[in-house]
Structure 1
Amino acid sequence: MELRHLRYFVAVAEESHFGRAAARLHVTQSTLSTQVKALEREVGGPVFVRTSRRVELTEAGELLLLEARRTLAQAERALDVARQSVRGETGAVRIGFSGIAVLEGILPADLRRFHTAHPRVELHVAELPPAAQVQGLRDGTLDVGYSPDNGLGDVDGLVARRGVRTTLSIAVRPDHPLASAATVAPADLEGENLIVYAADPDDLSVLDRLRAGHAERRAGVHLVTSTLGVLALASAGVGVAVVPTAAHRIAVPDVVYRPLRDTAADVQVVTLSRADELAGPVRAFVSSLDRPTPM
């Protein structure tokens, strides 16, 4: 049995006439009669009683009409849902992000703009380190990533879109000697315990940027896997935290921020997606972002 058989059957039942039903369906009356007979063979008995003037439903036909209407309505709904998904009007987008994307306002702005245009699409967000975002995009557990451009590794098969470029600052207790400075140079960090964000023990991206500023001699380095953890240690006086300048927006007790003077310490935030993306909602989200840039 095909949906076509049910559509023909419903038209005849509603018109109570083969000729009118054929005209409604834009088929010949003989074609319609053949299809109804095929349906009756599937059912195993007549669904219509034919008279000289009209067509009436049998008991089996009455029952079939109820279910046929439900089936056709569900089939149309399924098709409509699929069409909406292709157009990016429904479905879900899974987004991984680094905290800096929130602090800089990039992620909230993109989410707000997309949700306004596609209110029926579910948005799932999770804070993840850069390497985990790349892996999630590759294994299909993630659709879009917001990450600093450092620590991404090999990004073959992915497309990167520019976000914003931000600088680094330090966070220290108010009684630390550097708290009285208007700005801080990498050379001022020599001999200090540094506290830096690291996605994993092998992530030395922040330290690499500082090395470009010639701050080599340090008392020690604490690698911490969350921005709040970095700030907590700074507040406790464990050392000098190196954070994105946007972290100034986080009010932590006993922490002051000072800009770090070194263009080598700039951080670019990028948005990552798959180059061969097929899902409608994800393609719609990606289309709402800035123009891609090669990586």
Structure 2
Amino acid sequence: MELRHLRYFVAVAEECHFGRAAARLHVTQSTLSTQVKALEREVGGPVFVRTSRRVELTEAGELLLVEARRTLGQADRALDVARQSVRGETGAVRIGFSGIAVLEGTLVTDLHRFHTAHPRVELHLAELPPAVQVQGLRDGTLDIGYSPDNGLGDVNDLVMRRGARTTLSIAARHDHALASAASIAPTDLEGEKLIVYAADQDDESVLDRFGAEERAHVHLVTSTLGALALAAAGVGVAVVPAAAERIRLPDLVHRPLRDTSDVDVMTLSRPDELAGSVRAFVRSCDRAAEA
């Protein structure tokens, strides 16, 4: 039995007339009659009593009408749910992010814009180091990543979009010698214990930036908030995005770091994404970037 048979049957039952039902379905009356006969063969008996003036349901037809309407309603709901998913109106988006994406406003702006347009889509967020985000995108446990461009490694198999750009600053305890400076140059950091964000605790790219002889003076952390907490405690001075100044911690001051390259926030996703909700999120980000 096909859904088409049930739709034809319901139309005839509701119109009580083959001609009117055929016009409603935009088929010929002979086609409709053929389909109803095929249905009756599957049922094993008549579902209509045909007279010269009207069509009436048999007892079997009355029972079938209740179930047919229920079945067609469920089929329509299933199709509607699938279409909503394809359009990105339902489902979920799993997002990994680094703190810089929140501080710079990139993540919050993207989330607000997407949620306004797709309020029924669930958004799941987890703060994760860049390397973990990349792995999550590859193994399917994440859908979108927000990460600084440093520490990503080889991501040629992923789609990257450049977002906000930020400069670096130094966060230090208020009584630290560097706290009184208007700005700080990299040479001013010689001999200092540096607290640096890294993708993981063995991030060679971060260590190499400070030279092999300085490795004993570099403390790697995997969150901006952790770096600020250590700096406020006097463990060392933290190299953080300038936007980290928006996080106010007791006894902590921020100073601009001169003569260093900027940091870009990258949005990461998979090519050829299948999930409608994720595709909708990516489209939302792309349209914002083009505006």
Same fold (TM over 0.5): yes
The 8 Å contact of residues 198 and 204 in structure 1, kept in 2 or not, is answered as no
TM-aligned CA deviation for residue 225 of structure 1? 2.2
TM-aligned CA deviation for residue 190 of structure 1? 0.9
The 8 Å contact of residues 93 and 144 in structure 1, kept in 2 or not, is answered as yes
**What letter matches 1:134 in structure 2?**
V
* Runs of 5+ consecutive residues of structure 1 not aligned to the other structure: none
Give a deviation string over 1:188-214, Cα, whole Å, max 9, x none.
Answer: 111111112223122244444455xxx
Distance in 2 between residues matched to 1:229 and 1:115, nearest whole Å: 29
Q: Which deviates further from its counterpart, 76-85 or 103-112?
A: 76-85
The 8 Å contact of residues 207 and 215 in structure 2, kept in 1 or not, is answered as no
Distance in 1 between residues matched to 2:34 and 2:215, nearest whole Å: 89
TM-aligned CA deviation for residue 52 of structure 1? 2.5
* 1:289 alignment partner, SS class: helix
Distance in 2 between residues matched to 1:262 and 1:210, nearest whole Å: 14
Q: Partner residue of 1:187?
A: 187
Q: Partner residue of 1:141?
A: 141
Change over 3 Å in CA distance of 1:13–1:252 after alignment to 2: same
TM-aligned CA deviation for residue 147 of structure 1? 0.7
**What letter matches 1:70 in structure 2?**
R
* 1:288 alignment partner, SS class: helix
The TM-score normalised by the length of structure 1 is: 0.91
Q: Partner residue of 2:166?
A: 166
Q: Give me the identity figure in percent.
A: 84
**What letter matches 2:39 in structure 1?**
L
Distance in 2 between residues matched to 1:217 and 1:208, nearest whole Å: 9
Q: Partner residue of 2:251?
A: 254
Q: Partner residue of 1:237?
A: 234
Distance in 1 between residues matched to 2:22 and 2:69, nearest whole Å: 18
Distance in 2 between residues matched to 1:129 and 1:227, nearest whole Å: 10
**What letter matches 2:272 in structure 1?**
D
The 8 Å contact of residues 17 and 55 in structure 2, kept in 1 or not, is answered as yes
Give a deviation string over 1:248-280, Cα, whole Å, max 9, x none.
Answer: 01111111111111233x211111112222322
Distance in 1 between residues matched to 2:58 and 2:152, nearest whole Å: 69
Change over 3 Å in CA distance of 1:281–1:46 after alignment to 2: same
Q: Partner residue of 1:223?
A: 220
**What letter matches 2:282 in structure 1?**
V
Q: Partner residue of 2:43?
A: 43
Give a deviation string over 1:34-63, Cα, whole Å, max 9, x none.
Answer: 211211222222211222221111222112
Q: Partner residue of 1:114?
A: 114
Q: Partner residue of 1:288?
A: 284
Instruction: Verify: 1:277 aligned to 2:277, yes or no.
Output: no
Distance in 1 between residues matched to 2:221 and 2:272, nearest whole Å: 35
Distance in 2 between residues matched to 1:119 and 1:179, nearest whole Å: 45
Instruction: Verify: 1:104 aligned to 2:104, yes or no.
Output: yes
**What letter matches 2:113 in structure 1?**
R
Q: Partner residue of 2:196?
A: 196
Distance in 2 between residues matched to 1:178 and 1:63, nearest whole Å: 85
Q: Partner residue of 2:83?
A: 83
Change over 3 Å in CA distance of 1:219–1:130 after alignment to 2: closer
The 8 Å contact of residues 192 and 239 in structure 1, kept in 2 or not, is answered as yes
Q: Which deviates further from its counterpart, 174-183 or 151-160?
A: 151-160
**What letter matches 2:231 in structure 1?**
A
Change over 3 Å in CA distance of 1:196–1:135 after alignment to 2: same
Distance in 2 between residues matched to 1:23 and 1:85, nearest whole Å: 33
The 8 Å contact of residues 148 and 264 in structure 2, kept in 1 or not, is answered as yes
Give a deviation string over 1:111-169, Cα, whole Å, max 9, x none.
Answer: 11111122222222211111111112122222211111111112122111111211111
* Runs of 5+ consecutive residues of structure 2 not aligned to the other structure: none
Distance in 1 between residues matched to 2:174 and 2:165, nearest whole Å: 28
* 1:95 alignment partner, SS class: strand
**What letter matches 1:267 in structure 2?**
V
Q: Partner residue of 2:72?
A: 72
Distance in 1 between residues matched to 2:233 and 2:150, nearest whole Å: 28
Instruction: Verify: 1:2 aligned to 2:2, yes or no.
Output: yes
Aligned residues: 289
Give a deviation string over 1:221-259, Cα, whole Å, max 9, x none.
Answer: 222222222222112111111111111011111111111
* 1:46 alignment partner, SS class: coil
